Amino acid sequence: MDSRNFFRRKGSASKIKIHLNRNKSDEIEPLSLSLKDNLNKLKTTFEHCEDLVYRKVSSKKSNVDFLLVYFGEMIEKNTLNNNILKYLIHDIDGFSKRKSYEYSKFIKASLPVSNIEEVTDYNSIIGPLLSGDIILFTEDCYCALIIPAKTSDERSIAPSATERTIRGPQDAFVENINKNIHLIRKRIQDPNLAVEFFTLGHSTNTNIALLYIKGIAKNDIINKIRLKISTIDSSSILASAQLEQLIESHKWSLFPQTLATDRPDKLSRSLLEGRAVIIVNGTPFALIAPVTFAMFFNSSDDYFERTIVTSTIRIVRYICFISSIFLPALYLAMTSYHPGMLPTPLALYITGARVGLPFPSLVELVFMQFTTEVLIEASVRLPKAIGQTVGIVGGLVIGQSVVQAGLVNPLIVIVVSLTALATFILPVYTFALSTRILRAIMIIAAATFGLYGIVIAGLFILIHMSSIESFGIRYLEDFSPYSLSKLKDTLIKAPHQYINRAPEYLNEKNNDEV
């Protein structure tokens, strides 16, 4: 089945429904037989839309009048000229043989354009018109035709900028939802791959697609997601990030409960594991749900490299995650609370570095942490050319001169920069962001209670992580309850033949057996 077909039918249907809801008029408003009436009506509806084109043409051979209405920039000019106007004006013959109410059916059969729809209701033409279709009215006919002719002048498929791989496929999602679905369908040629469309946002009318594989994904989970999406009542959805916030259940949590990615291979893998993918028109980032904690440590490259290497890198990532949260706090606790826990030469060394510095370690640490945050933010936002300058300014000027000025202990510079590096090793940016906040919490805890504070704050975070769930799946499902099969693609990555099965907790079949 062609995805476009699928999309057209369902999409327009739901669109009309929502459109009707918005106008609060449930009754059907029939179209007028006269072109003039229809034209006037449209002109009142779209009063200030100067980009709306009303074009009157008439068939040369049969002398029938047509009215074409469309937004000029949104349609494909070729389709309009070659497939619609040419046929209407020159080629179609035989109107005289037919009754006027049969015209629209006749045109529908004659035009070389697919998926033409016939409507009689005035309200149902507004949605398609807005989304870039051409509406064709015919004199003396109570039916209007919706002719799909959306332009497709969008950027072409390019490699992912946020998640680069070395051996993986070099294509990434674009803004267009159809292209994105196409990228997935290319990979999973399975009739069980279900695509459900929704239209959300009163003003934006954003197309959203929910993808999952029937028979693999658990029905409960899909129902939960479907329910969440369909109950959204929001006026605008411009990007997947907004949808993410609308559908997740723990809004105040630091941990993301869906995973945004623009890599079709990653999305396909998630689909095959039994997860659902939500694609939002207008954003290259699709959402994976439900997610578990361990997924944020998987990079696409993991699946293209050798097992032992990958497993080692995975473990390095976990260590980095832990150290990016705990390292500055541990430094503070160890030096200011429990210097007895450091080996004697190290304790004396740090003391030597600290002697004569004016500020307490806490102030130094907070200052350096703040500086790093500023540098990171600056280098992310700035254009590439200036971004490098920021790195030099930050690394050399601040790092070096702050130490030389005798303001900050060089060890703090080491700790803070190591922490920042450890944060960058995490493959998912959203997740890396939350470690920054966690780190700040840890520093406060360490400053007040030392090692005890760190452990207690760590426990709080752990409790929080165990309590949150993503669409019925616990965040830490990968680690609890214990199961050896879960370890195959979490802490380590087993060779491919061992991990091609979907995880138990996501698998519909497994659930049935029990």
Specify whether the CB–CB gap between 70 and 129 falls below 8 A.
yes
Q: Which residue(s) pair with 474 in the sheet?
A: 469
Residue 344 belongs to what H/E stretch? helix 344-354
Specify whether the CB–CB gap between 185 and 4 falls below 8 A.
no
- Which of 15-23, 40-48, 59-67, 453-461 is the region at the interface with other proteins (rule: CB under 8 A)? 453-461
Q: What are phi and psi of 408, to 5 degrees?
A: -130, 140
User: What's the token pair of residue 478?
Assistant: 């990968």
Residues from 383 through 412 that contact other proteins (CB under 8 A) = 400, 403-404, 406, 410
Residues from 316 through 375 that contact other proteins (CB under 8 A) = 335-357, 360-362
Would you say 74 or 353 has its CB closer to other proteins? 353
CA distance 56 to 415: 72
The DSSP string of 409-446 is -HHHHHHHHHHHHHHHTSS-HHHHHHHHHHHHHHHHHH
- Which of 13-21, 124-132, 374-382, 466-474 is the region at the interface with other proteins (rule: CB under 8 A)? 466-474
Would you say 341 or 374 has its CB closer to other proteins? 341
CA distance 510 to 514: 7
Q: How far is the CB of 51 from other proteins (least distance, A)?
A: 47
Q: In this chain, which of 208, 225, 447, 473 binds other proteins, going by CB under 8 A?
A: 447
Closest CA to 270 of 294, 305, 246: 294
- Which of 96-104, 192-200, 281-289, 450-458 is the region at the interface with other proteins (rule: CB under 8 A)? 450-458
Would you say 85 or 398 has its CB closer to other proteins? 398
Would you say 343 or 383 has its CB closer to other proteins? 343
Q: Locate tokens 């739901």: which residue? A: 14
Q: Locate tokens 């007028």: which residue? A: 32
Binding of other proteins by 476 (CB under 8 A): yes
Would you say 166 or 482 has its CB closer to other proteins? 482
Would you say 87 or 452 has its CB closer to other proteins? 452
Specify whether the CB–CB gap between 436 and 373 falls below 8 A.
yes
Residues from 237 through 296 that contact other proteins (CB under 8 A) = none
Kindly provide the b/e burial profile for residues 54-93, where b requires at least 16 CB atoms within 10 angstroms of the residue's own CB: beeeebeeeebebbbbbbeebbbeebbeebbeebbeeebe
Q: How far is the CB of 492 from other proteins (least distance, A)?
A: 15
- Which of 37-45, 71-79, 284-292, 462-470 is the region at the interface with other proteins (rule: CB under 8 A)? 462-470
Specify whether the CB–CB gap between 259 and 163 falls below 8 A.
no
Q: How far is the CB of 350 from other proteins (least distance, A)?
A: 6
User: What residue spans of 113-176 are helical by DSSP H?
Assistant: 123-131
Q: In this chain, which of 27, 44, 231, 482 binds other proteins, going by CB under 8 A?
A: 482
Would you say 132 or 450 has its CB closer to other proteins? 450
Hey, how many other C-beta atoms are within 10 angstroms of the C-beta on 478? 20
Size of the site for other proteins (CB under 8 A): 54
Q: How far is the CB of 452 from other proteins (least distance, A)?
A: 5
Interface residues with other proteins (CB under 8 A) are: 335-357, 360-362, 400, 403-404, 406, 410, 447-452, 454-456, 459-460, 462-464, 466-467, 474, 476, 479-483
